[in-house]
Amino acid sequence: MIVKVKGLVKRYDKLVALDYLDLEVAEGEIFGLLGPNGSGKTTAINCILSLLKYDKGSIEIFGKPMSADAYDIKKDIGVIMQNVAVFEALTVYENVHYFCSLYIKDKAKVKELTEEAIRFVSLEEYRNFYPKKLSGGLLRRLNIACGIAHKPKLIILDEPTVAVDPQSRNKILEGIKRLNQEGATIIYTSHYMEEVEQICTNIAIIDKGRVIAKGTKDELKSMISIGEKITIETYQGNENMVNELKAFPNVFSVELRDNRLEIKSNRGKNNLVHILDYLNKNQISFGRIVTELPTLNDVFLEITGKELRD
């Protein structure tokens, strides 16, 4: 395992931020930490990096105990935190060059890696810009370049797409996948479930400082009862129809609101066919039909009873 966290406890007076947290990250994967704001994601990352002292537990990285002075471990880690950390007085090129030089001493190699990192995040035309002249999305991409320029084996990204435009978000996600393809192991924290579902090979959902579910996205979805969500537009719905649909095999939830019939069903064949047959037989006209497979948000909602973005 690249990262192994066992029984991690972190308290702030009476507040328990991490409650015997266990995590294992295998080499070569993109490991997603999914959870709402305040769930313990950032605290866990800060403890893993030895930026925070913790009360109990153990942390190993690259098979070695992690500590504040474990510089042999830290030199192979790249960190991109939620808050952008670059120097306002330095240009894009100078920022990336400076952070790379903290790890690499060969001047020619630093220059080579700096250029490569700037190309990687597509900031070539902004190389002489100062951070205050960059948009939020470009600034985040600069932050990533500073964190990955020295070619770390382990890259930790904490909410890297917060408050960025869709184009920059896509570039960031594409870049993360490329870094992984080039051999980096990645820990990716987010409360944006779509991003985690899109790029992560394994996922841990955390809440109140502990892991409440873990696995691949398909394994997580198999843990819940929802197999399909069906939404049907109809202006002829009534309470009797809702009650009769609730009695259908596999159906466990039916709601009628704003002229939309929302049905959640267990896994089963021909759920939609049976529902449409019922509507036709009862001469209930309907319009647009949308069927959806369960998402990670459904997993979180069923396990915890609240939305990811609460």
Quick one: 84 and 100 in the same domain? yes
Task: Please state the separation of Cα 206 from the chain's center in Å.
Answer: 11
Does a structural domain hold residue 309? no
Name the strands in the sheet holding 251-257, side by side, starting at the edge strand that comes first in the sequence: 251-257, 260-265, 228-233, 289-292
Quick one: 86 and 125 in the same domain? yes
Quick one: 216 and 286 in the same domain? no
Task: Please state the separation of Cα 39 from the chain's center in Å.
Answer: 13
φ, ψ for residue 71, nearest 5 deg: -70, -25
What local confidence, expressed as pLDDT, does residue 300 receive?
Answer: 79
Q: How far is CA 181 from CA 29, 109, 174, 185, in A?
A: 9, 22, 11, 9
What is the full per-residue pLDDT of the chain (310 aa) written as tens digits?
Answer: 999 999 999 999 989 999 999 999 999 999 999 887 788 888 999 999 999 999 999 999 999 999 999 999 999 999 998 888 899 999 999 999 999 999 999 999 999 999 999 999 999 999 999 999 999 889 999 999 999 999 999 999 988 888 788 888 888 899 899 999 999 999 998 878 888 889 999 999 898 899 999 999 889 988 887 888 899 999 888 889 999 999 998 888 899 988 899 998 887 667 888 899 999 999 999 999 998 888 888 887 887 776 655 4
The CA distance from 131 to 135, in Å, is 8
Quick one: 116 and 199 in the same domain? yes
Give residue 248's domain range. Answer: 228-304
Which residues face 158 on adjacent strands? 189
Quick one: 237 and 292 in the same domain? yes
Boundary of a domain, candidates 221, 252, 286: 221
Type and span of the H or E element at 217: helix 217-221
Boundary of a domain, candidates 198, 221, 244: 221
The CA distance from 23 to 26, in Å, is 10
The CA distance from 203 to 31, in Å, is 6
**152, 227, 149: which is closest to 186 by C-alpha?**
152
What local confidence, expressed as pLDDT, does residue 241 receive?
Answer: 92
Quick one: 178 and 260 in the same domain? no
Quick one: 199 and 268 in the same domain? no
What local confidence, expressed as pLDDT, does residue 81 receive?
Answer: 86
The encoded tokens of residue 183 equal 């051999």
What local confidence, expressed as pLDDT, does residue 106 receive?
Answer: 95
What local confidence, expressed as pLDDT, does residue 105 receive?
Answer: 92
Boundary of a domain, candidates 206, 221, 236: 221
Quick one: 191 and 49 in the same domain? yes
Does a structural domain hold residue 120? yes
Quick one: 162 and 297 in the same domain? no
Does a structural domain hold residue 267? yes
Q: How many domains does the structure of the chain reveal?
A: 2
What is the domain-level CATH number for residue 208? Answer: 3.40.50.300
- For the full predicted model, state whether its pTM sits above 0.85: no
3-state secondary structure 115-176: HHHHHHCCCHHHCCCCHHHCCHHHHHHHHHHHHHCCCCCEEEEECCCCCCCHHHHHHHHHHH
Query: Is the CB of residue 207 less than 8 Å from the CB of residue 36?
Result: yes
Q: How far is CA 8 from CA 57, 60, 109, 155, in A?
A: 4, 12, 38, 21
The CA distance from 139 to 175, in Å, is 15
Quick one: 247 and 215 in the same domain? no
Quick one: 40 and 123 in the same domain? yes
Quick one: 261 and 193 in the same domain? no
The size of the chain, in residues, is 310
Does a structural domain hold residue 310? no
The CA distance from 121 to 175, in Å, is 7
Q: At a CB cut-off of 8 Å and minimum separation 6, what does 105 contact?
A: none
